Structure 1
Amino acid sequence: MAGEPNLDTLLRTMAPELQDGVFVFCTVDTHHDIPVELTPLMLFREREGITLIVRCEDAEQVGLPYQFVARLITLSVLSALDAVGFLAAVTTCLAGAGISVNAVSAFHHDHLFVPEARGEQAIRLLQELSRSAASR
């Protein structure tokens, strides 16, 4: 099934979901193994090291230092990988409220990591953005 490319449709039907749990960003050196106890939600290799997004309790269990304690919001609409402006509209909405976002686009959905303390506020803002788009 092909993802949705139309910005208006994406905004109307984004169906943001606040996921359970608290997530953190960690990094490990490219020459070290990832602890076998970890099941990263995301792994991305960069020149400087490997970025991992894992549950906070998992990072703490293996003693892995972390940054950016976050809640995860999944935009449940099946978005096209080449959709134009969707993440820009969503992150602009959250930026207007002073909420930082680390966005991850996967094959089927876009995912937003927002500061843990702002998760509930972020989901309400995104729901309002979706309702506003639907009423146009």
Structure 2
Amino acid sequence: MPAEHHLPTLLKQMAPSVHPEVFVFCCFSNGRLPEALSPVGSFHEPEGLTAIVPLRQAQALGLAFQFESRMVTLTIHSALDAVGFLARISAALASQGIACNVVSAFHHDHLFVPRDRLDDALRALDELSRSG
């Protein structure tokens, strides 16, 4: 199925899905991941390698971490060059005081929201989806 560009369709059909695990962000200044770590995402920056990992893995390895979050995947296949989709999502979450870290992958956008604000985030996304 081709990726979606049409903003009203993206909003109406975003279909959020919540991953069951809690995730955290870790930084490795040496740019290397421990072998036992299985990140769902990573990014290289001048200060080090950021990895998004399950909380249980970070704790088991004694790693320093920040931002305990839940991953909400927007299951619509959004185009990487779609305009305005994430801006609308960010605005809806920000209006409720909900922080969000976004990872756009090839097929889907993944929102990392504070674990204690998951229900609020899902309500905001549902309202946005219904109102367009």
Report what 2:18 is aligned to: 18
TM-score, structure 1 length as denominator? 0.93
Report percent identity of matched pairs: 52
Asked if structure 2 preserves the Cα contact closer than 8 Å seen for 1:40 and 1:53, the reply is: yes
**SS of the residue aligned with 1:125?**
helix
Count the aligned residue pairs.
Answer: 132
Report what 1:56 is aligned to: 55
Is 1:47 aligned to 2:8, yes or no?
Answer: no
Runs of 4+ in 1 over 6 A off after TM superposition: none
Once the two structures are superposed, the pairs formed by residues 83-98 of structure 1 within 5 Å of their partners are 83-98=82-97
- The two structures, once aligned, show a CA RMSD in angstroms of 1.0
| Runs (5+) with no aligned partner, structure 2 | none
Once the two structures are superposed, the pairs formed by residues 1-136 of structure 1 within 5 Å of their partners are 1-31=1-31, 33-133=32-132
The CA deviation string for residues 32-57 of structure 1, in whole angstroms up to 9 with x for no partner, is x3111110000111111000000001
Hey, what's the Cα distance between the residues in 2 that align with 1:110 and 1:104?
A: 6
Q: Which amino acid aligns with 1:105?
A: S
Hey, what's the Cα distance between the residues in 2 that align with 1:64 and 1:56?
A: 10
Asked if structure 2 preserves the Cα contact closer than 8 Å seen for 1:17 and 1:75, the reply is: yes
Q: Which amino acid aligns with 2:12?
A: R
Hey, what's the Cα distance between the residues in 2 that align with 1:104 and 1:124?
A: 20
**SS of the residue aligned with 2:20?**
coil
The CA deviation string for residues 82-122 of structure 1, in whole angstroms up to 9 with x for no partner, is 00000000010000000010011000000100001001110
| Runs (5+) with no aligned partner, structure 1 | none
Hey, what's the Cα distance between the residues in 2 that align with 1:88 and 1:45?
A: 24
Hey, what's the Cα distance between the residues in 1 that align with 2:12 and 2:30?
A: 41
